[in-house]
Amino acid sequence: MAYTFVTGGASSGKSKFALQLLSSRKDITFIATGVKTDAEMELRIAAHRRERPAAWKTIEEPLDIISAVGHMDERHSGLIIDCLTMWVSNLLYMDQCDGSEIIERAEDLASHLEYLDKKIVVVSNELGMGIIPASGESREYRRLAGEVNQIFARSSIEAYLVVSSIGVKIR
């Protein structure tokens, strides 16, 4: 079964929108890629946890999403992965992956998701609508995140752009 891709700017309401897409289901696995790197990130992660229904299973996995998918409860009918841009950052800085390895992992993950018989929602930030970053490192991160988003959008059955908590279907 193909998946739904949800993208938008930072703090645009993407995660809430993704939760709404599967809100009628109790049998959901949520894969969270965020890592507590500082106090502000710890607060953001805690807030996201509170937004999810208690019955949902959460797997916190910053790097190996395919393995995390393998650990989801087989009885669960749905899966949310939130978010790809954090995953790209983790691969760059925690796992020291280069750009080609990140793209390969993204293609593998997108392909893997296409064959699961689950309702799947994949969340990612759209980073390419702002100013051009000043540092080469930031530009490379933005480029990689954009390429990963293109891979997932291209393979999705439907896609939404979330702006101010409103999801606009773009595919």
CB 1 within 8 A of CB 120: yes
Torsion sign over Cα 50, 2, 116, 65: negative
Angle 158-73-35 (CA atoms, 0-180°, nearest 5)?
Answer: 75
Active site residue 71: no
Query: What is the DSSP pairing of strand 158-163 with strand 4-8?
Result: parallel
60 vs 150: CA distance, rounded Å: 24
102 vs 108: CA distance, rounded Å: 10
DSSP result, 28-80: EEEEE-----SHHHHHHHHHHHHHS-TTSEEEE-SS-HHHHHHTS-TT--EEE
Catalytic residues: 48
